Structure 1
Amino acid sequence: MKFSKTIVAVAAILISVTSFAQSNDFKLGQNMEIQYSILKELSQSYVDTIEYGKIIPIGIKAMLQSLDPYTTYIPEEEGEDFEMMTTGAYGGIGSLIKKSPESGVQIIEPYPGSPAVKAGLVPGDVIIAIDGVSVYGETSAQSVDKMKGQPGTDVVFTVIRGRTLDTVDITVTRERIRVSDIAYAEIIRDSIGYIALTGFTQNMHVQFKESVLKLKEKGAKRLVIDLRGNGGGIMEEAISLMSLFVPEGTLVVSSKGREERMNQEYYTTTPPIDTLIPVLVMVDSGSASSSEIVAGAFQDLDRGAIAGRRTFGKGLIQSIKPTLYDGKVKITTGKYYTPSGRCVQAIDYSHRNEDGSVGNVPDSLKREFKTRNGRSVYDGGGITPDFITESRTFSRPAYSLVFNDILGDYAIEYFK
């Protein structure tokens, strides 16, 4: 009798799940038909001409944003910007610039060895036209789009020389520019090696490993990894970074999602370079995603100390899926968990308020976890540092110097 009841109960659950799936599929088809019928009526009856290339992407964007801010559609024309985000590389001239709508494009800092340097551009030079078209009235983004292009192609700049004020035409051959994630790596004092890391783009770990080895050659006995303001990037790069400091085969992060392939544990797979050097990881509210994977692993494994302010709290994983017409959709497909088993996601997008707003995970739902040495850590709100530092405040003149780039302007004038 018990066996029969169990079969009936299981059958009821399966029927319920199947019915739910069928109901969802029906609603999907129904709403797609409704959308098509509305667009058809608009095309036939709306008083003015409709640009479907504009209104439909708006609808797609709104639909995806209602899920979470990380699930987005990337059309073909934005593919180069997406590549820049993931690889740190783009086709261009290789220089930092400054631009306002009423001004030309000022060269601020050409990258060493870049096409800009090869063509003779220096800080203070001002581009007033690109391929014969004036840049006045353009936004910075519009001018940058013209400066970028396929490696090997030429772009002609009309330039006012900063030092002589001569107007000349300069042809620059674009190359593939790789922006390093290592903003700074040097010995600061008392044998302390310091590395400022700005992202986790493709092959970042190679640069990072080289930086660590060079610092050790210079006599570094301790290491500071600065992840403040680092919004993250590729998860595998975070795992590769951790592999430099923990034994091979150490669990760094795990993931869970609806698809079976998302239920994974990720271990280090390469020999470390130093498992004993003391490490301090600096974080703040701008440290997110892969930065939190690194900070959480150092903390949970008791391999290093964390200092600064609580991190952002992004514990979601995105996967890239191809779409028709060479587009892509970036979809949140899982959550990641630190070695102790905690998820650092701070905002609960799955439960929205009536007005559509979202809130942080309440303290009552946060759970306690233990590090390798038994220290208490908690989920649901980013990584809380072992040593919390106060936010620095500055005077109004100091803020003005930075916000208005007065120091940058002075540096250019000094260079001239």
Structure 2
Amino acid sequence: MKKALPFLVVLILLLGFFIGQNFTQKESGITTIIFNNDNKLSQIFDIIDSEYVDKADIDSIIERSIPKVLEELDPHSTYIPKDEVEEMTSDLQSSFSGIGIRFTIQEDTIDISEVIRGGPSEEAGVLAGDRIITINDSLFVGKDVCTNQAAMKKLKGPKGSFVKLGLQRFGEEELVEVKIRRDDIEVKSIETAYLLNGKWGYIMIERFAENTFAEFIKAMIELANQRAQGYIIDLRGNGGGYLGVALEMANQFLGEDEVIVYTEGANIKKEIERANGYGYFQDVPLVILVDETSASASEIMAGTIQDNDRGTVIGRRTFGKGLVQKQINLDDGSMMRLTIARYHTPSGRCIQKPYTKGDGESYAMDLIDRYNRGEFFSQDSIHQNEELIFKTKNGRTVYGGGGIMPDIFVASDTTHVNEYAKDIFTNRLIAQYTLNYCKANRQSMKKHQTYEELVTYLDRQPMLDGLISFARTKDIAPKGNEIAESKEVLTRSIYSNIIYHMLGMMEHIKFVNLKDSTVLKAVEILESGKAFPEIEG
């Protein structure tokens, strides 16, 4: 007799469709689930298991069905299989056990783009530009073998364990073999914080993770000690993370009882988060930078600064991800992230952009649609819903409808990006070219310790000519005046990539910010003393 199917993980997913579950034992935001198994879906699976003509792989059916169930709820409720949980959560943890490298996959091979300073790989002698050919004496190249997920599984492991790599290194005929002892690798949220123009503190926050607030306070204090007169918080490209971290950060800038955010849901009563008045930076000039990839916690941060008229938001309309999600650990080690409420800014705007249940494809295409409509290049292309008008603390008009529209719009800079440059960028030729260049010229460049020194060196090299020749080997050639038109944008991209490979993120961002139109606008606003929005009317 076949045993009755437990289906403890499947039935959980029918939260929006079936009655019979309840939540208990809440600990640290994680929920253990107990539910009534007496429902139609359970009966159906039991019957399939006992009556179907062929032997049915119920577990496999369940795994494939779960995502389809959640797709009917909203775009962000999601199921994470057991073997993907660690990868999905490691970015928001303060550390993980690994070998301390960053890599890309080029031509079906792992290219090491950065060796984390002080990490196990640096200690073992691994160099940026090395290519991983073997892992533990097994070949690890080829389209079917070398994937990001497979590489992470091979390279991560318990602290203290060893992994053996066979490295292809420029100038070496034989593989360079290294044995690396895995150790805790700190996952930083802030790699770039410096004094811009000698008086404006610039901080780029990549994510809202476990350690982000501590990193943020440290960076703010260090910049204050350097006599920063105001701050630029760069949230562009920041897809969010932990709500609590965003609340702690916003609290540093707001006065007592000022609303940071509130949440509402059908099964969740309205909860209002307010500042406690103990923030250290309540009076400093402040600018927040955002773009179309700023999402979730980034939008909460930008929205509360805007609605409280605490600072100026500059850039482009944010993504529009404003759904509160509960992380639910399932008994088999898999995980579900279930939407339980929506985020609203202090003025009442819902951050979440509209979506059609079950139509994940249209939702996924939204940014492309916005690009095609010209939203990234002209503020006039952005449709503001006149029925969703809200007021900030000082009476300024802001609009709902999804995402945060900045106070000052800055178009995406595509100056001098002609068809030739597009082909080069689309095919990622600059990344390949600069990685090869660093491999061949590392010895002559490693003595340069700042981006200024490295730029001086690169100015004496035929860098653009090298790229043009490399592109020709990939059947990409310029026409007419295309080289002259795209010379500046291609050269700066070459330089920024090499600076990143040789000197790391901070020097890379310092160089990029010299010509970054959004950063330049932020400096202009701070210099003019207009970081605090004025009262309307």
Give the structure-2-normalised TM-score: 0.66
Deviations 1:315-354 (A, max 9, x none): 111001121222221100111111112212112345x68x
- The answer to whether the Cα contact below 8 Å between 1:401 and 1:407 also exists between their aligned partners in 2 is no
1:212 aligns with 2:232: no
User: Which of 308, 320, 334 is matched with 2:341 structurally?
Assistant: 334
Give the structure-1-normalised TM-score: 0.84
SS at match of 2:266: coil
Counterpart for residue 402 of structure 2: 381
Query: Identity of aligned pairs, percent?
Result: 31
Shift of 1:88: 5.0
SS at match of 1:236: helix
- The answer to whether the Cα contact below 8 Å between 1:108 and 1:412 also exists between their aligned partners in 2 is no
Equivalent residues in 2 for 1:173-188, closer than 5 Å? 173-188=181-196
User: Which of 407, 429, 436 is matched with 1:409 structurally?
Assistant: 436
Counterpart for residue 323 of structure 2: 316
Shift of 1:390: 1.4
SS at match of 2:154: helix
Q: Distance in 1 between matches of 2:48 and 2:236?
A: 48
SS at match of 1:90: strand
- The answer to whether the Cα contact below 8 Å between 2:385 and 2:399 also exists between their aligned partners in 1 is no
Counterpart for residue 311 of structure 2: 304
SS at match of 1:334: strand
User: Which of 99, 102, 108 is matched with 2:105 structurally?
Assistant: 99
Task: Pick closer, same or farther for the CA change 1:53–1:156 going to 2, 3 Å.
Answer: farther
Shift of 1:80: 1.3
Task: Pick closer, same or farther for the CA change 1:205–1:22 going to 2, 3 Å.
Answer: closer
Give the residue type in structure 2 aligned to 1:30. Answer: K
Give the residue type in structure 1 aligned to 2:229. Answer: K
- The answer to whether the Cα contact below 8 Å between 2:233 and 2:287 also exists between their aligned partners in 1 is yes
Deviations 1:20-47 (A, max 9, x none): x9985599812332243235444xx23x
Q: Distance in 2 between matches of 1:344 and 1:381?
A: 5
Shift of 1:248: 4.4
User: Which of 128, 135, 154 is matched with 1:130 structurally?
Assistant: 135
Task: Pick closer, same or farther for the CA change 1:374–1:108 going to 2, 3 Å.
Answer: same
Q: Distance in 1 between matches of 2:234 and 2:18?
A: 49
Q: Distance in 2 between matches of 1:380 and 1:61?
A: 27
Q: Distance in 1 between matches of 2:154 and 2:195?
A: 39
- The answer to whether the Cα contact below 8 Å between 2:102 and 2:113 also exists between their aligned partners in 1 is yes
Counterpart for residue 29 of structure 1: 39
* Paired positions, count: 387
Task: Pick closer, same or farther for the CA change 1:387–1:271 going to 2, 3 Å.
Answer: same
Shift of 1:254: 1.0
Q: Distance in 1 between matches of 2:386 and 2:81?
A: 38
Task: Pick closer, same or farther for the CA change 1:356–1:399 going to 2, 3 Å.
Answer: closer
Deviations 1:355-394 (A, max 9, x none): 996699x966842221111111122221111101112112
Shift of 1:101: 5.8
SS at match of 2:260: strand
Query: Structure 2: 5+ residue runs without aligned partners?
Result: 1-15, 21-35, 367-382, 444-537
Deviations 1:271-321 (A, max 9, x none): 222212111111111111000000001100100101111111111110011
SS at match of 1:307: strand
Equivalent residues in 2 for 1:241-280, closer than 5 Å? 241-260=249-268, 263-269=270-276, 271-280=278-287
- The answer to whether the Cα contact below 8 Å between 1:200 and 1:233 also exists between their aligned partners in 2 is yes
Q: Distance in 2 between matches of 1:54 and 1:414?
A: 51
Counterpart for residue 61 of structure 1: 67
- The answer to whether the Cα contact below 8 Å between 1:100 and 1:139 also exists between their aligned partners in 2 is no
Counterpart for residue 285 of structure 1: 292
Give the residue type in structure 1 aligned to 2:320. Answer: G
Counterpart for residue 110 of structure 1: 115
